[in-house]
Amino acid sequence: MKFTTFVTSKEDILACAAAPNLEEVLIEPRELSREGRASIAEAEELAREATKHGLKPTLVWDILMTQSEFSARSELVAGINLDLFSAIRTQDPGAAMWARENAPSRSLQFVVENSNHNMPGLKRWVAELRPQRMILSTQLPEDKLIACCKELGTECEVLGAGKILLFYSKRHLLQANFRNDEEGNDAHWIYADSASEESASRPFPTIENEHGTFMYLNKDHFILDSLARLDEAGMHTIRIDLRDLQAGEHAAKGIESICAMTLARDPALDTVWTRPTSAPFFKRNRTDKQFARMKPHTRLLRDSKCVAEVVSIERGEMLGLFTLREFAAAGASYKFVAHDGSELPATLDSFSDVTGNPLTHCTAHRVVRCSWVKGVKAGAILVRDEAV
């Protein structure tokens, strides 16, 4: 198992050169990368420095682009000395195809962290793009990551420690709320904590720059102390993102000790990360658990005995029903069935139209009224216990 991380300075490169099992560094030009700050010239100089110290520099081109932006950025990449880089890392499929066609001698690394999470889709990308490496999602649990390592037929990478992107928009959502004071602030970067009434106690770190707005989870992803099975399965690379833990111009200070502790499975490893951490999906992704509960059980009961649906409630007075079929109002016992399948028997002695006129026979697709029944909620269906 190897490691990779971002670098922004020569000091970062020296730290990476001293780190065990770290052979590659990620370099982010600001025109091409979501959080890049280096100019093209600075990125090329970092690549030269990395090569000098035995490291493989990877050019990060991970922004998503419109067609016009893609045309401009691809011309920019064409002007870069790509011989300085061992690989190109892309997220936009258009950028990946450009790299495959115009820089075939450079290895392609394709980022699917925020897009594909299923095996058929991942295999299709591998077949179409033939990448050297797939950068997989943190939303994949350990068992699925292991399956990817065994079935994709290419190198696999996953975030081992670092921030988790929750939301991204190409729009600049923070700009209107901040005064553009170029003397005191970087005009292209805004940092804020985003919160709502529901999440007031756990604000989410948010960044806005020239590429859009990025909101991150308030806890960092951290699985460096749980890599044994991934290592056995053949996970090629673990990415360690220290950018938000650094002050100033550096992005990889301390990477050598973290890599060494990870390889040694040091029990004190979790204490080296200074921000709150979590791994919400690593052991089990249970985001689909609620689907069965969300699916209304009433769908299964829309047969000849299902005669109406509750569409309005006037507490203590009446229920509004939309009739689904024709039925005789008298001479039957009823029950209301809620979305979760629970049943509430009811005695309904009278029905009326919306003007209050009594009904002995209800026609289909009309709004009618009946007496209020405690516990009935909108969306419940009315079922006759006797056949129409």
Classified by CATH at the fold level, domain 2-164+219-278 comes out as TIM Barrel (3.20.20)
DSSP letter for each residue of 146-185:
HHHHHHS-SEEEEEEEE--EEEEESS--SGGGS---TTTS
DSSP state of 251: S
Here the tokens at position 300 are: 């299964």
Q: Which class for 68: exposed (0-12), middle (13-18), buried (19 or more C-beta within 10 A)?
A: exposed
Q: What pLDDT, on a 0 to 100 scale, did the predictor assign at position 120? A: 93
CATH of domain 293-384: 2.40.30.10
Mean pLDDT on 92-106: 95
Q: What's the pLDDT at 272?
A: 86
Q: Would you list the domain boundaries of the chain?
A: 2-164+219-278, 165-218, 293-384
How is residue 86 written in tokens? 């061992």
Contacts of 68 (CB under 8 A, 6+ apart): none
Handedness of CA 165, 171, 173, 177 (dihedral sign): positive
**Which pLDDT value is given to residue 384?**
85
Q: What's the whole-number average pLDDT of the chain? A: 88
Examine the pLDDT at 168 and tell me if it is beyond 80: yes
pLDDT value at 387 more than 50: no
Cα angle at 251 between 116 and 264, to 5 degrees?
80
Res 321 pLDDT > 70: yes
Global pTM reads 0.73
The per-residue pLDDT for 297 is: 53
**Torsions phi, psi of 283, nearest 5?**
-80, -35
pLDDT in tens, 187-204: 578 888 888 776 667 889
Q: What is the structure's pLDDT at 287? A: 55
The predicted pLDDT at position 184 comes to 43
In the predicted structure, residue 151 carries a pLDDT above the cut 80:
yes
Give per-residue pLDDT as tens, 9-28. 999 999 999 999 999 999 99
Q: Residue 309: pLDDT above 60?
A: yes
Give Dmax (Cα) for the chain.
91
- Over residues 229-254, the pLDDT tens digits come to 999 999 999 999 999 887 768 999 99
Q: Single out the residue of 376, 336, 368 nearest to residue 352, CA to CA.
A: 368
pLDDT over 70 percentage in the chain: 90
pLDDT at 153: 94
